[in-house]
Structure 1
Amino acid sequence: MKLFIYIILFFKIFFFQNLSSDEVFLKGKEIFLNSGNCAACHSLKDAGSVANIGPSLDEIRPVAERVKNAVVNGIGVMPSAMGVLSDDEIDAVSYYVSKSTNN
Protein backbone atom coordinates (compact mmCIF):
# COMPACT_ATOMS: atom_id res chain seq x y z
CA MET A 1 0.00 0.00 0.00
CA LYS A 2 2.83 2.40 0.85
CA LEU A 3 4.45 1.72 -2.50
CA PHE A 4 1.21 2.61 -4.27
CA ILE A 5 1.02 5.93 -2.41
CA TYR A 6 4.64 6.73 -3.28
CA ILE A 7 3.99 6.00 -6.94
CA ILE A 8 0.95 8.28 -6.96
CA LEU A 9 2.93 11.06 -5.27
CA PHE A 10 5.79 10.62 -7.73
CA PHE A 11 3.51 11.02 -10.73
CA LYS A 12 1.70 13.97 -9.18
CA ILE A 13 4.90 15.84 -8.38
CA PHE A 14 6.83 15.18 -11.58
CA PHE A 15 4.14 15.07 -14.25
CA PHE A 16 1.28 17.28 -13.16
CA GLN A 17 3.63 20.02 -11.92
CA ASN A 18 5.01 20.42 -15.46
CA LEU A 19 1.53 20.88 -16.86
CA SER A 20 0.92 23.70 -14.43
CA SER A 21 4.26 25.30 -15.34
CA ASP A 22 3.40 25.10 -19.04
CA GLU A 23 0.12 26.88 -18.40
CA VAL A 24 1.92 29.66 -16.52
CA PHE A 25 4.48 29.88 -19.33
CA LEU A 26 1.76 30.29 -21.96
CA LYS A 27 -0.13 32.81 -19.84
CA GLY A 28 3.10 34.78 -19.38
CA LYS A 29 3.76 34.77 -23.12
CA GLU A 30 0.27 36.10 -23.81
CA ILE A 31 0.80 38.87 -21.26
CA PHE A 32 4.23 39.71 -22.71
CA LEU A 33 2.74 40.06 -26.18
CA ASN A 34 -0.56 41.71 -25.30
CA SER A 35 -1.80 43.15 -22.01
CA GLY A 36 1.69 43.72 -20.57
CA ASN A 37 2.81 45.50 -23.73
CA CYS A 38 6.36 44.21 -23.07
CA ALA A 39 7.04 43.34 -26.73
CA ALA A 40 6.71 47.01 -27.67
CA CYS A 41 10.05 47.73 -26.00
CA HIS A 42 11.90 44.43 -25.48
CA SER A 43 13.38 41.91 -27.89
CA LEU A 44 12.65 38.32 -26.97
CA LYS A 45 13.23 35.54 -29.48
CA ASP A 46 10.56 33.19 -28.10
CA ALA A 47 7.93 35.93 -28.42
CA GLY A 48 9.12 37.01 -31.87
CA SER A 49 9.61 40.59 -30.66
CA VAL A 50 12.46 42.68 -32.07
CA ALA A 51 12.01 46.03 -30.33
CA ASN A 52 15.04 47.94 -29.11
CA ILE A 53 13.80 50.57 -26.65
CA GLY A 54 14.50 48.38 -23.63
CA PRO A 55 17.28 45.82 -23.32
CA SER A 56 17.19 42.58 -25.24
CA LEU A 57 15.94 40.03 -22.74
CA ASP A 58 17.75 37.26 -24.63
CA GLU A 59 21.03 39.05 -23.94
CA ILE A 60 20.55 39.87 -20.26
CA ARG A 61 18.79 36.57 -19.46
CA PRO A 62 17.14 37.76 -16.23
CA VAL A 63 15.95 35.43 -13.50
CA ALA A 64 12.26 35.66 -12.55
CA GLU A 65 12.92 37.74 -9.43
CA ARG A 66 14.76 40.38 -11.48
CA VAL A 67 11.94 40.56 -14.02
CA LYS A 68 9.34 40.83 -11.27
CA ASN A 69 11.27 43.63 -9.57
CA ALA A 70 11.44 45.61 -12.84
CA VAL A 71 7.74 45.03 -13.61
CA VAL A 72 6.59 45.96 -10.10
CA ASN A 73 8.87 48.94 -9.51
CA GLY A 74 9.72 50.11 -13.01
CA ILE A 75 13.31 50.74 -14.01
CA GLY A 76 14.82 53.49 -16.13
CA VAL A 77 12.17 54.60 -18.64
CA MET A 78 10.12 51.46 -17.96
CA PRO A 79 7.07 52.31 -15.84
CA SER A 80 5.69 50.09 -13.11
CA ALA A 81 2.94 47.72 -14.20
CA MET A 82 1.30 47.78 -10.77
CA GLY A 83 -2.36 48.53 -11.27
CA VAL A 84 -2.10 47.40 -14.90
CA LEU A 85 -1.30 43.74 -14.25
CA SER A 86 -2.50 41.58 -11.37
CA ASP A 87 -0.05 39.85 -9.05
CA ASP A 88 -0.72 36.55 -10.88
CA GLU A 89 -0.07 38.19 -14.25
CA ILE A 90 3.19 39.71 -12.98
CA ASP A 91 4.28 36.30 -11.69
CA ALA A 92 3.36 34.66 -15.00
CA VAL A 93 5.22 37.16 -17.21
CA SER A 94 8.25 37.02 -14.89
CA TYR A 95 8.26 33.23 -15.11
CA TYR A 96 7.85 33.33 -18.89
CA VAL A 97 10.72 35.76 -19.50
CA SER A 98 13.03 33.85 -17.17
CA LYS A 99 12.22 30.42 -18.60
CA SER A 100 12.36 31.52 -22.24
CA THR A 101 15.78 33.15 -21.83
CA ASN A 102 17.44 30.70 -19.42
CA ASN A 103 16.74 27.30 -21.02
Structure 2
Amino acid sequence: MTSYTQHQLKSRTRDLCLTTDNHTDRNAGWLSACVGRLGQHWDNGIPDSLRSDTFFNTENTLRVSPTSTAVYSSNSATDYVTYDIPNKTHFWWATAHS
Protein backbone atom coordinates (compact mmCIF):
# COMPACT_ATOMS: atom_id res chain seq x y z
CA MET A 1 0.00 0.00 0.00
CA THR A 2 1.38 3.39 -1.02
CA SER A 3 1.29 6.16 1.55
CA TYR A 4 0.79 9.80 0.61
CA THR A 5 1.20 12.84 2.78
CA GLN A 6 -0.12 16.34 2.50
CA HIS A 7 2.15 19.16 1.45
CA GLN A 8 2.03 22.92 1.33
CA LEU A 9 2.36 24.47 -2.13
CA LYS A 10 4.69 27.39 -1.58
CA SER A 11 5.61 30.25 -3.91
CA ARG A 12 9.40 30.50 -4.06
CA THR A 13 9.32 34.16 -5.06
CA ARG A 14 6.71 35.40 -2.56
CA ASP A 15 7.16 32.87 0.28
CA LEU A 16 3.37 32.37 0.49
CA CYS A 17 1.27 29.17 0.42
CA LEU A 18 -1.68 28.24 -1.76
CA THR A 19 -4.73 28.30 0.51
CA THR A 20 -8.43 27.43 0.10
CA ASP A 21 -11.51 27.03 2.27
CA ASN A 22 -14.62 24.86 2.19
CA HIS A 23 -17.45 27.40 2.31
CA THR A 24 -19.22 26.43 -0.94
CA ASP A 25 -19.09 23.77 -3.66
CA ARG A 26 -16.58 25.98 -5.54
CA ASN A 27 -13.88 27.58 -3.38
CA ALA A 28 -11.30 30.15 -4.41
CA GLY A 29 -7.58 29.57 -4.06
CA TRP A 30 -5.32 32.37 -2.83
CA LEU A 31 -1.84 32.96 -1.45
CA SER A 32 -1.39 33.57 2.29
CA ALA A 33 1.29 33.27 4.97
CA CYS A 34 2.55 29.68 5.38
CA VAL A 35 1.41 29.08 8.94
CA GLY A 36 0.10 25.53 8.50
CA ARG A 37 -3.53 26.58 8.81
CA LEU A 38 -6.51 24.58 7.63
CA GLY A 39 -6.77 24.78 3.82
CA GLN A 40 -3.02 25.03 3.20
CA HIS A 41 -2.32 21.32 2.71
CA TRP A 42 -2.69 19.36 -0.53
CA ASP A 43 -2.71 15.60 -1.06
CA ASN A 44 -1.43 13.94 -4.24
CA GLY A 45 -2.86 10.49 -3.45
CA ILE A 46 -5.11 10.59 -6.52
CA PRO A 47 -2.94 10.45 -9.66
CA ASP A 48 -2.87 13.69 -11.67
CA SER A 49 -4.86 15.69 -9.10
CA LEU A 50 -4.26 17.67 -5.92
CA ARG A 51 -6.91 17.07 -3.28
CA SER A 52 -7.60 19.92 -0.87
CA ASP A 53 -6.99 19.61 2.86
CA THR A 54 -8.35 16.24 4.00
CA PHE A 55 -9.60 17.84 7.21
CA PHE A 56 -12.41 19.28 5.04
CA ASN A 57 -13.55 15.67 4.46
CA THR A 58 -14.50 16.40 0.85
CA GLU A 59 -13.45 15.17 -2.58
CA ASN A 60 -12.47 18.66 -3.72
CA THR A 61 -9.40 18.97 -5.91
CA LEU A 62 -7.44 21.94 -7.18
CA ARG A 63 -8.53 23.13 -10.62
CA VAL A 64 -8.05 26.05 -12.97
CA SER A 65 -10.90 28.12 -14.28
CA PRO A 66 -11.78 27.20 -17.88
CA THR A 67 -12.22 30.91 -18.71
CA SER A 68 -9.59 32.75 -16.62
CA THR A 69 -6.34 32.27 -14.70
CA ALA A 70 -8.08 31.75 -11.34
CA VAL A 71 -7.68 28.55 -9.31
CA TYR A 72 -10.36 26.85 -7.22
CA SER A 73 -10.92 23.75 -5.15
CA SER A 74 -14.08 21.91 -6.10
CA ASN A 75 -15.50 18.48 -6.85
CA SER A 76 -14.81 17.42 -10.45
CA ALA A 77 -18.02 15.37 -10.76
CA THR A 78 -20.19 18.26 -9.49
CA ASP A 79 -18.35 20.70 -11.76
CA TYR A 80 -18.97 18.55 -14.81
CA VAL A 81 -22.61 17.61 -14.14
CA THR A 82 -23.85 20.89 -12.64
CA TYR A 83 -21.65 23.57 -14.21
CA ASP A 84 -20.37 21.91 -17.42
CA ILE A 85 -16.74 22.47 -16.35
CA PRO A 86 -14.45 19.94 -18.08
CA ASN A 87 -12.78 17.31 -15.89
CA LYS A 88 -9.41 18.17 -17.46
CA THR A 89 -9.38 21.45 -15.47
CA HIS A 90 -8.68 19.30 -12.38
CA PHE A 91 -5.59 17.54 -13.81
CA TRP A 92 -2.07 18.37 -12.58
CA TRP A 93 1.25 16.75 -13.35
CA ALA A 94 4.26 16.88 -11.08
CA THR A 95 7.38 18.59 -12.37
CA ALA A 96 10.66 18.86 -10.52
CA HIS A 97 12.30 22.27 -10.43
CA SER A 98 15.75 23.07 -9.15
The TM-score range, normalised by the shorter chain, is under 0.3
TM-score by length of 1: 0.27
Higher helix fraction (1 or 2)? 1
Higher Cα Rg: structure 1 or 2?
A: 1
Output the TM-score relative to the length of structure 2.
0.27
